[in-house]
């Protein structure tokens, strides 16, 4: 098969690669659409330590089953499917507690660390365990279905926030995850939504998706502006969706006493937390890891037209041109959000 391979850091090559060997409980999926995730873009230079070459990256995808293992009974060739990015054992302690995203033995598609290597979806074919498959509704396209994973990550963060009706919400970082958080938080009946970023293009998207106020933190003091707009209290819930020291600090400074900061972004391995401010203001810090069971709900929302996917897709291109699109994304070319590759 053809695949886009990270042969060494900062070197992606479109080349021949051996076809995947499908296990007894797996299906072979012909990939029809696969998204370039920000974690892939940040990973190609080795800075995250989670994309060790050689590796076929990619974990946001959709396609058609073209083969299956001997123990697969609920799926057949020709089924249109998408799938979770997390591969987890069914007998793990955390899985049995309903927390498969925290499984000690979880693997993520398209990731290679010192502990494991699992090739991903930047290829014509990928083998997927049957228990992480989801059927694509008839009115949802492959491109839309390839966006379920980031939307589910956003939905998981919103679920963990325990958002209440009319809660004020800050979203710090309006990339793909942040823009999905805005849409999903709005669907839960929240109050004012404040979007913070340094990119006016993304902030305009945030406004289109339901943000009531947008703040460019390069030109404004974001926490001070949030305080002005919330009668000096701060927001009830803040979603940090960038994973950087600056946005973590802004998030903590923007939440009210007793409020909740949900940490979704994880680009920086380590950030500093203002301990006394968190403790004396009784701020709740909630980490949000990937997703855990939100796929079906997000697919239903897409089928009902309740989440806007199309406006987030900046380009669709052949997988053979993937290296060029990675370069554009890595160099932060303006007005680029999600790029979908077609093997």
Query: In the prediction, which pLDDT does 47 show?
Result: 87
In sequence order, what are the residues at sequence separation of 6 or more whose Cβ sits closer than 8 angstroms to the Cβ of residue 242?
Answer: 172, 173, 175, 178, 265, 267
**Record: fold of 151-287:** Rossmann fold (3.40.50)
Percent of the chain with pLDDT over 90: 97
What ranges do the domains of the chain cover? 2-147+309-342, 151-287
State the pTM of this model: 0.96
159-183 pLDDT, tens digit per residue, is 999 999 999 999 999 999 999 999 9
100-128 pLDDT, tens digit per residue, is 999 999 999 999 999 999 999 999 999 99
pLDDT of residue 268 exceeding 90? no
pLDDT of residue 287 exceeding 90? yes
CATH number for region 2-147+309-342: 3.90.180.10
Query: In the prediction, which pLDDT does 103 show?
Result: 96
Q: Which one has a higher pLDDT value, 267 or 174? A: 174
Inter-residue contact 29 to 16 (CB < 8 Å): no
Query: In the prediction, which pLDDT does 269 show?
Result: 86
228-255 pLDDT, tens digit per residue, is 999 999 999 999 999 999 999 999 999 9
Tokens coding 241: 């969706």
Inter-residue contact 241 to 173 (CB < 8 Å): yes
Average pLDDT in the 15-27 region?
97
């Amino acid at each position: 098969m053809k695949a886009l391979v990270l042969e060494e850091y900062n070197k992606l090559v479109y080349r021949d690669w051996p076809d995947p060997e499908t296990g007894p409980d797996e299906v072979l999926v012909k990939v029809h659409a696969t998204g370039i995730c920000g974690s892939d873009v940040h990973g190609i230079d080795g800075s995250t330590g989670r994309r060790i070459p050689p590796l076929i990256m990619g974990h946001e995808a959709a396609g058609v089953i073209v083969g299956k293992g001997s123990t697969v009974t609920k799926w057949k060739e020709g089924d249109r499917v998408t799938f979770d990015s997390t591969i987890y054992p069914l007998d793990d302690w955390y899985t049995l507690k309903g927390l498969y995203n925290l499984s000690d033995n979880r693997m993520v598609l398209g990731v290679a660390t010192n502990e494991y290597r699992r090739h991903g979806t930047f290829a014509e074919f990928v083998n997927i365990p049957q228990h992480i498959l989801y059927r694509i509704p008839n009115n949802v396209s492959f491109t839309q279905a390839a966006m379920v994973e980031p939307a589910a990550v956003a939905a998981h963060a919103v679920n963990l926030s325990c958002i209440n009706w009319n809660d004020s919400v800050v979203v710090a970082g309006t990339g793909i995850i942040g823009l999905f958080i805005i849409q999903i938080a709005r669907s839960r009946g929240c109050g004012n939504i404040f979007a913070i970023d340094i990119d006016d293009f993304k902030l305009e998207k945030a406004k289109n998706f339901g943000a009531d106020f947008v703040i460019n933190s390069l030109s404004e003091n974001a926490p001070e502006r949030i305080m002005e707009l919330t009668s000096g209290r701060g927001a009830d819930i803040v979603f940090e969706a960038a994973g950087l020291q600056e946005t973590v600090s802004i998030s903590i400074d923007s939440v009210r006493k007793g409020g909740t900061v949900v940490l979704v972004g994880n680009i920086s391995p380590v950030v500093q937390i203002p301990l006394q401010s968190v403790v004396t203001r009784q701020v709740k810090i909630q980490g949000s890891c990937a997703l855990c069971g939100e796929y079906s709900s997000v697919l239903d929302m897409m089928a009902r037209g309740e989440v806007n996917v199309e406006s987030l897709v900046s380009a669709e291109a052949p997988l053979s041109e993937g290296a060029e699109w990675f370069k554009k994304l890595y160099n932060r070319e303006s007005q680029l959000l999600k790029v979908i590759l077609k093997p």
